[in-house]
Structure 1
Amino acid sequence: MTRTRRVLAAAAVVTLLAGCTTADVVSAPAPAASGVTVTDAEAPDVDVASLPDADAPAVPMRLADGLAPPTNRWFSGLVFGDVPQPVFPLPVSVGLTASGFAYGLPDVSADGTLVMGGHAAQVQADLGEPVTGVVSGYDAATVVVDLVAGDDAVLGTLRLTRGSPVVTYTAGRDQDLALGRPFAATDGLPADVAATDVEGRTHVLVGADGLDVTGVLAEDGTSLALAADDTVSWLVAPDGGEGSLGDLVEAVRDPVVAAEVGYATSADDVTTDLTWATAGGGPAVVVRFPHQGDAADDVTCGLGTYATVLGTADVCLATTLGWTVPAREPAAAPDLSGVDAGLRDELADQVRADAAAVLAEVRPADTYFGGKALARDANLWSLARELGLDGVAADLHDSLVTDLRTWTEPDGCTTRPERCFTFDGSLRTVVGQAPSFGSDEGNDHHFHYGYLLYAAGVLAADDPALGDDLAPVVDLLAADVAAGADVPVDGGAPMPALRVFDVVMGHSWASGQAPFGDGNNQESSSEAVNAWNGLALWADARGDDALAGEARWLLSAEAASARAYWTDFDTADPAVDGLEASVTSLVWDGKRERATWFSAEPSAALGILVLPVTGVSTYLGGDPDRVRANLVEALGTDDLWADPATWDVMFGDQLLGYAALLGPQDAAAALDVARDLPDERIDDGSTRAWLLAWIASRT
């Protein structure tokens, strides 16, 4: 039986037909309104009011009343910060200006360890008076921005569509819209559209509802005389699409008004379907990105290409664009059934030593390092049980349960400043105390809470009563990062569904407010995978089938995109010609780079894409040749095993776990190195026992 969900604008009114595949679901997206949600799932049964209010000032937002604050979105930079940041619907970029907006096609180039594709303000649209861009609606793939004058009048509305080379504008009143460069009727295009050349590329201006843009262009082609409700769109012509440009122009006449996303899971693969609704019901001009290459549809593609920082994107005309990725099942402990008695005895000794060490310490008090320590010790507990160390397992269990109960006291923050959770009424988000890495600004919640979900899921799997006790707060953490539907909150906007997950790109975003000129970003793709692995383990432990299905979709999609853009991207793609890096550890919408926020060491760039090594980390081993190439780059040597000191680097333990994916022979060599790896090279989210057990399971 295939699990199926549909994700669309919250205000949509749809009919869903019961069935087993996405083909059985019939619905029509409504205009972008209040965010992304799962239509056939109810909001999670959580009590936001059980948490005390965060002691934090209100965050200024350029956002319409009643909308869930869009933290961790590709367009978050439009909403937060003193000034709006450029955003990247891709393949185009768009920036708001003091009196309008500007768009363009980024010039993508690669050099050394960086792929660049920053905002290109090639075509200006100017209203002639100051305006503020206010996000007034968004859904799975579209964003609506009202351009508001000082008297609160909406002078016009900009609509951006994720994964489309089209920018659409609707006049809010009669107006002259200055264009910044001349447009004119052009041979080879319909007589009622206009075009201009930008650096050798055609940009086409197209009217909707029968509007002849040549009839409203000024004589010099540099402004439009628009009436209220007139809609125009700009299309950037693709590379190699000369023969299809006319078809694309015809489709652009029918502008996109909304989008929705559906998914279906099965034992072998997971399918995602993006559906666009246009004003007249026709197909949309969209692109297929590299991670969407395994098509699950029969749409018309091959109509040209664009270079993006993610790689070459293929142009399509589509109502629904679907793709499949390998299904990933949640997993925690490695399988030790094939490990011989001698090695099991060695592991048992190491578990005893590691357990004594962690139990002698106080776990950190913030959600990131505290969560990592809980997940680390949950893994150690699993090993102790597997190896028959009942006393050690009991001591670890008691310690873990004590700390988990402390963290999950709903009113804990009323009596202490740490190891507890609050609710930020401004950002509509759960904030752990003490915050770290900007988590109080919305940063990295899936990283932090993923570890807590993992630990809770591992322990609750065999103890339903414990799950019941932890659920009031753990369910809130799950809802914060992955609610299936908007979570109602008294006194204003809801908590958003799928807070961190970009359904078009198939991966998450880490920055809460994205105060950057290159869009949002995510560094540790593996910690994002870990978040959905933890979510699935928790859902399974709780018997929540709906959440379990959603978690498997997120897990499978994130794992596929992690490989497509972070660790296993196509180095032969012309769009990244000149890139000398084998991994790009920081992925943005406007660039990709082999860099981290914390270290310039090449080993850090790979290690942050591997940790934490758990039972689900096998997704990283799909291409052994690429695993080896990534390790060679990270370690600076072609001979991985000649000198054990090679691995005495940042994240050396994680890289040894990664090397075990090369095969039994390399796993055996990794095991020898791991035994004597310096203690300081064991990550604080792991133990030597766990490292040895993981590698041993691969020999």
Structure 2
Amino acid sequence: MRRPLAAGAAVVLTLLTACTTTDAVTAPVPAASGVAVADAQAPDVDPASLPAADTPAVPLRLAEGLAPPTNRWFSGLVFGDTPQPVFPLPVSMGLTASGFAYGLPEVSADGTLVMGGHAPQVQADLREPVTGVVSGYDAATVAVDLVAGDDAVFGTLHLTRGSPVVAYTAGRDHDLDLNQPFAAADGLPDDVAAAQVAGRTHVLVGADGLDVGEVLADGGTSLALAAGDTVSWLVAPDGGEDVLGDLVEAVRDPVVSAEVGYTTAADEVTTSVTYVTAGGGDAVVVRFPHQAGAADDATCDLGTYATVLGTASVCVASTLGWTAPAREPAAAPDLSGLDGGLRDEIADQVGADVEASLAEVRPADTYFGGKALARDANLWLLARELGLDDAAAELHESLVTDLRTWTEPDGCTTRPERCFTFDESLRSVVGQAPSFGSDEGNDHHFHYGYFLYAAGVLAAEDPALGDEVAPVVDLLAADVAAAAAVPVEGGAPLPALRVFDVVMSHSWASGPSPFADGNNQESSSEAVNAWNGLALWADARGDEALAGQARWLLSAEAAAARAYWTDFDTTDPVVEGLEASVTSLVWDGKRERATWFSAEPSAALGILVLPVTGVSTYLGGDQDRVRANLVEALGTDDLWADPAAWDVMFGDQLLSYAALLGPDDAASALEVARDLPDERIDDGSTRSWLLAWLGSQA
């Protein structure tokens, strides 16, 4: 969801998850030489130490003891009055009143939209009403029990992120009616069946020696299953008909769980997902565009699928691994190269901006309040750097006062805002006053990233302040990025990595995901900011494990942001017909150049840039694409012909982005920035920060 908007040695960590009530992460422990690996520990925090949120319990289609899966690709199965379709990808799946339906979405692009909505091509019916209840999940798999009115489990659906396979295990003897006739097919083993659906082969495969041909009855549209039988459906890929038999052999061994690992090094981070099957064999999975930097020996030349994210290659593998360029956390830009005149100019602007900040009361909600704290932490850095000691001291006092207020553990017992509570139903930390649906789980990493950033900047210079605010700041970090599930007395834990989709390498913003197109994320740059803030906080606290984890998240999210939001491959056949250079709102079922708050092209790019910090250089690297994105956002081919072209929503953010074109463009941007109207300076920034950033790039 979004809002209307006024280098050194490698660190090795491993994330192990299973379909249970807990997730585990392996974290680094300092050793005499290098880094040793040990089982991860949940962060030492107690969410129940916060006052209970005054919110009603949320009905959940979830097994008892499981952490409520907000901000997941499958959240729509758990929350809301009715379950929503979900997209394991490349397939989609939706629950029905008496069963389920899956299919391969038809992907097409037109105008500013890439479409790939739910395709209920093969429907399986249990002949009586059932309710889908998520009974287990991990970083890449989900189990959904189909529960009858007598609370008996008819069977369990098994969905695997990044796999074209849907599996089902019978919980008791029953018949499963299909809307498509499956029968023996040439070129396939005799014990499997196939159907032609929408011009593509769908194969039905049994596990543990189950002969699907024998159990099919009534003309091939009814499966007679015994308790414990597992069947799987595989959708054939494009160009994969010749190897379909090989894929079928892998499908016989269904995926039951996933294990995730990552390493961080000076130049790159590596993510790996191991798909654990019942028999220990390989799985049929896909490699998405962001996973092109392979770090494994998987066989991935077995066909392709079109997905809204781009063309995905089919693999048979037990583990998929991929790399992303390593990103180091950073706050202020480097001002050491500024000439004296520009330093004096920025210093004068800093003085004016500090005066303006001190004259205002910072907002009381978690989004704008957090932005204001981060904005003024940056302003404080500039004041210190430029020798404005009095202004820096005064602003620092104001910042610390507000941060202390926000981080009083029992603050919400005495006031309705500028404090945090614990939602016992969602098992989540919720700021008061909430904003943009944060009380439903929306956007927590966006909001809390600003608090983590400000706390990290201040605590780096004042460890005692870090000690003081840590009880609550650590809770904010744990809420969005706990390395392991956090036990909470009296109920389910906080989940590990609440918002981060490991397979897709990016976060999800909606808490309940009440949408037919799956979950979504708009401001990829605020997600990057969250992990930048997490890393700054970890560094300030000397928490090596969290620092390594945060650098992995930062690097992975930055790479995914470019792969799907700002720098996607415009030559991929999937986007043929797309007339947009950025897709600012990414879902599992579609991508679009759109925002929740404005139809302006400048908004679509600006929301992928803010907030600008020292780490924002990740958005550069492809100057041609930066220029194309700006041309689209501004509606002009000559960026500097008319300064008025920048008098648009997020004009300051676009100028900051333009500086990534090189020193000459940064100098031109600096000239425009001096006269940019005040209303075009985002409330999370200042004119002095804009000038300093542009000056550092010129």
- Corresponding residue for 1:388? 387
Residue 40 (structure 1) shift: 2.2
Residue 8 (structure 1) shift: 2.1
Alpha-carbon contact 2:250-2:283 (below 8 Å) kept: yes
- Corresponding residue for 2:181? 182
C-alpha spacing 1:14/1:107, structure 2 compared with 1 (3 Å): closer
Cα RMSD over matched residues? 1.7
The aligned amino acid for 1:528 is A
C-alpha spacing 1:501/1:86, structure 2 compared with 1 (3 Å): same
- Corresponding residue for 1:133? 132
Rounded Cα–Cα distance in structure 2 between residues aligned with 1:559 and 1:650: 23
Counting only pairs closer than 5 Å after superposition, residues 250-329 of structure 1 correspond to structure 2 as 250-329=249-328
Counting only pairs closer than 5 Å after superposition, residues 547-696 of structure 1 correspond to structure 2 as 547-696=546-695
- Corresponding residue for 2:6? none
Residue 50 (structure 1) shift: 1.7
Residue 17 (structure 1) shift: 12
Determine whether 1:2 maps to 2:10: yes
Alpha-carbon contact 2:113-2:590 (below 8 Å) kept: yes
TM-score for the superposition, normalised by structure 2? 0.97
Residue 6 (structure 1) shift: 1.4
Sequence identity of aligned pairs in percent?
A: 84
What SS does structure 1 have at the residue aligned with 2:258? strand
Alpha-carbon contact 1:5-1:40 (below 8 Å) kept: no
Rounded Cα–Cα distance in structure 1 between residues aligned with 2:606 and 2:489: 42
C-alpha spacing 1:172/1:475, structure 2 compared with 1 (3 Å): same
Rounded Cα–Cα distance in structure 2 between residues aligned with 1:263 and 1:367: 31
Alpha-carbon contact 2:296-2:321 (below 8 Å) kept: yes
Counting only pairs closer than 5 Å after superposition, residues 135-534 of structure 1 correspond to structure 2 as 135-534=134-533
Rounded Cα–Cα distance in structure 2 between residues aligned with 1:280 and 1:381: 58
Residue 320 (structure 1) shift: 0.6
Alpha-carbon contact 2:331-2:614 (below 8 Å) kept: yes
Alpha-carbon contact 1:421-1:431 (below 8 Å) kept: yes
Rounded Cα–Cα distance in structure 2 between residues aligned with 1:43 and 1:253: 36
| Gaps in structure 2 of 5+ consecutive residues | 1-8
Rounded Cα–Cα distance in structure 1 between residues aligned with 2:377 and 2:464: 17
Residue 2 (structure 1) shift: 1.5
Alpha-carbon contact 1:7-1:39 (below 8 Å) kept: no
Alpha-carbon contact 1:375-1:455 (below 8 Å) kept: yes
Alpha-carbon contact 2:308-2:574 (below 8 Å) kept: yes
Rounded Cα–Cα distance in structure 2 between residues aligned with 1:77 and 1:496: 17
Rounded Cα–Cα distance in structure 1 between residues aligned with 2:46 and 2:102: 42
Q: Deviations over 1:399-445 (max 9, x none)?
A: 00000000000000000000000000000000000000000000000
What SS does structure 2 have at the residue aligned with 1:232? strand
Counting only pairs closer than 5 Å after superposition, residues 56-95 of structure 1 correspond to structure 2 as 56-95=55-94
Q: Deviations over 1:311-348 (max 9, x none)?
A: 00000001010000000000000000100111000000
The aligned amino acid for 2:14 is R
Q: Deviations over 1:34-62 (max 9, x none)?
A: xxxx9822010112122000000000000
Rounded Cα–Cα distance in structure 2 between residues aligned with 1:9 and 1:154: 24
C-alpha spacing 1:382/1:13, structure 2 compared with 1 (3 Å): closer
The aligned amino acid for 1:411 is D
Rounded Cα–Cα distance in structure 2 between residues aligned with 1:663 and 1:285: 44
The aligned amino acid for 2:633 is A
Rounded Cα–Cα distance in structure 1 between residues aligned with 2:376 and 2:181: 65
Alpha-carbon contact 2:13-2:26 (below 8 Å) kept: no
Q: Deviations over 1:221-258 (max 9, x none)?
A: 00101111100000000000122111000000000011
Residue 13 (structure 1) shift: 11
C-alpha spacing 1:694/1:6, structure 2 compared with 1 (3 Å): same
Rounded Cα–Cα distance in structure 2 between residues aligned with 1:346 and 1:136: 61
Q: Deviations over 1:506-530 (max 9, x none)?
A: 0000000000000000000000000
Rounded Cα–Cα distance in structure 2 between residues aligned with 1:282 and 1:42: 30
- Corresponding residue for 1:30? none
What SS does structure 1 have at the residue aligned with 2:217? coil
Rounded Cα–Cα distance in structure 2 between residues aligned with 1:573 and 1:19: 43
Residue 25 (structure 1) shift: 13
The aligned amino acid for 1:344 is R
Counting matched residue pairs gives: 685
The aligned amino acid for 1:455 is A
Residue 15 (structure 1) shift: 12
Q: Deviations over 1:357-381 (max 9, x none)?
A: 0110000000000000000000000
The aligned amino acid for 2:497 is L
The aligned amino acid for 2:85 is P
Rounded Cα–Cα distance in structure 2 between residues aligned with 1:272 and 1:462: 33
Rounded Cα–Cα distance in structure 1 between residues aligned with 2:431 and 2:298: 45
Q: Deviations over 1:368-395 (max 9, x none)?
A: 0000000000000000000000001001
TM-score for the superposition, normalised by structure 1? 0.97
Alpha-carbon contact 2:23-2:138 (below 8 Å) kept: no
Alpha-carbon contact 1:254-1:279 (below 8 Å) kept: yes
C-alpha spacing 1:17/1:677, structure 2 compared with 1 (3 Å): closer
What SS does structure 2 have at the residue aligned with 1:697? helix
C-alpha spacing 1:674/1:40, structure 2 compared with 1 (3 Å): same
- Corresponding residue for 2:103? 104
Alpha-carbon contact 2:531-2:554 (below 8 Å) kept: yes
Alpha-carbon contact 2:16-2:26 (below 8 Å) kept: no
Residue 622 (structure 1) shift: 1.3
C-alpha spacing 1:557/1:15, structure 2 compared with 1 (3 Å): closer
C-alpha spacing 1:333/1:14, structure 2 compared with 1 (3 Å): closer
Q: Deviations over 1:49-96 (max 9, x none)?
A: 220000000000000000000000000000000000000000000000
Rounded Cα–Cα distance in structure 1 between residues aligned with 2:26 and 2:116: 40
The aligned amino acid for 2:374 is A
Segments of 4+ moved more than 3 angstroms: 10-20
Rounded Cα–Cα distance in structure 2 between residues aligned with 1:16 and 1:685: 35
What SS does structure 1 have at the residue aligned with 2:39? coil
Q: Deviations over 1:121-172 (max 9, x none)?
A: 0000000000000000001100000000000000000000000000000011
Rounded Cα–Cα distance in structure 2 between residues aligned with 1:283 and 1:115: 32
Rounded Cα–Cα distance in structure 1 between residues aligned with 2:383 and 2:580: 40
- Corresponding residue for 2:3? none
What SS does structure 1 have at the residue aligned with 2:285? strand
Alpha-carbon contact 1:539-1:547 (below 8 Å) kept: yes
Rounded Cα–Cα distance in structure 1 between residues aligned with 2:466 and 2:208: 56
What SS does structure 1 have at the residue aligned with 2:512? coil
Rounded Cα–Cα distance in structure 2 between residues aligned with 1:416 and 1:410: 12
The aligned amino acid for 1:238 is P
Rounded Cα–Cα distance in structure 1 between residues aligned with 2:489 and 2:54: 18
Rounded Cα–Cα distance in structure 2 between residues aligned with 1:300 and 1:497: 30
Residue 4 (structure 1) shift: 1.5
- Corresponding residue for 1:34? none
Alpha-carbon contact 1:171-1:228 (below 8 Å) kept: yes
Rounded Cα–Cα distance in structure 2 between residues aligned with 1:472 and 1:653: 35
Alpha-carbon contact 2:28-2:38 (below 8 Å) kept: no
Rounded Cα–Cα distance in structure 2 between residues aligned with 1:15 and 1:65: 22
Rounded Cα–Cα distance in structure 1 between residues aligned with 2:38 and 2:55: 32
Rounded Cα–Cα distance in structure 2 between residues aligned with 1:15 and 1:266: 18
Rounded Cα–Cα distance in structure 2 between residues aligned with 1:15 and 1:362: 41
What SS does structure 2 have at the residue aligned with 1:461? helix
